[in-house]
Amino acid sequence: MKTSLVALFVLLYALSMGLQSLLVAADDASPRQVVDTTGKVLRAGSNYYILPVAPIIKCAPHGRCWSRDAGFSLAGIGKYCPLDVVVGDRYRALPVTFTPLNPKKGVIPVYSDLNIQFSGYNKCPQSTVWKLDRFDASSNHWFVTTGGILGEPGWKIEEYGGDYKLVYCPSGCKSCRRLCKNVGVFVDEKGNNRVALTDAPYKVKFQEA
């Protein structure tokens, strides 16, 4: 009888250890989650500023220079509505929300499709959801604007050099443009820092608003 009980205990212990190993392996295989500047996990629907990792250096005419963070914002460039996405002065930065295409995810995993949307007041009738705008042949760039639709894939947050970068690379979407490029900044002829698809990635961090 004792032998049977010992054997049963050993079997149950082995099964529990095997289950624990499977759970650990599944956890290790799950995608890493994006974190903000304080190390907290980004939450879907919460407000964040998208800020550059390296501050922009500004210099006065007399030579004095200082650094200032710049955040992603909205501006009417070449047209009034819909507004385009730009990197503006820190005081004009607008918070955004991230919405994963998988509604069951309350957090934002890296390399997964999501929507990006500016929060707050919008003076245009279009939505503030990011979308890819027209291709500008003179600069050879696709620009990022607003007026997108929630639920359409396209944007991703990827790890890059110990920080993050944004990319446009829709997964499993037949109607989307077949592009897969970094989201960077293009300075146009008027000095506007326009958010566009570029070869060079733009390192960013996320700060809770």
Q: How would you label 111-130 residue by residue, b for 16+ Cβ within 10 Å and e otherwise?
A: ebbbbbbbeeebeeeebbbb
For residue range 121-132, list pLDDT tens digits in order: 788 899 999 999
Q: Report how far residue 113's alpha carbon sits from residue 153's, in angstroms, rounded to the nearest whole number.
A: 6
Question: Is residue 10 scored above 50 in pLDDT?
Answer: no
Q: Report how far residue 31's alpha carbon sits from residue 113's, in angstroms, rounded to the nearest whole number.
A: 12
Band of residue 181 on the pLDDT scale cut at 50, 70, 90: very high
Residues sharing a CB contact under 8 Å with residue 177, sequence separation 6 or more, in sequence order: 132, 142, 170
Q: Report how far residue 23's alpha carbon sits from residue 36's, in angstroms, rounded to the nearest whole number.
A: 27
Band of residue 22 on the pLDDT scale cut at 50, 70, 90: very low
For residue range 85-122, list pLDDT tens digits in order: 999 765 578 899 999 988 777 899 999 999 999 997 78
Please give the average per-residue pLDDT across 161-177, as a whole number: 86
Here the tokens at position 110 are 């890296």
Here the tokens at position 116 are 């990006």
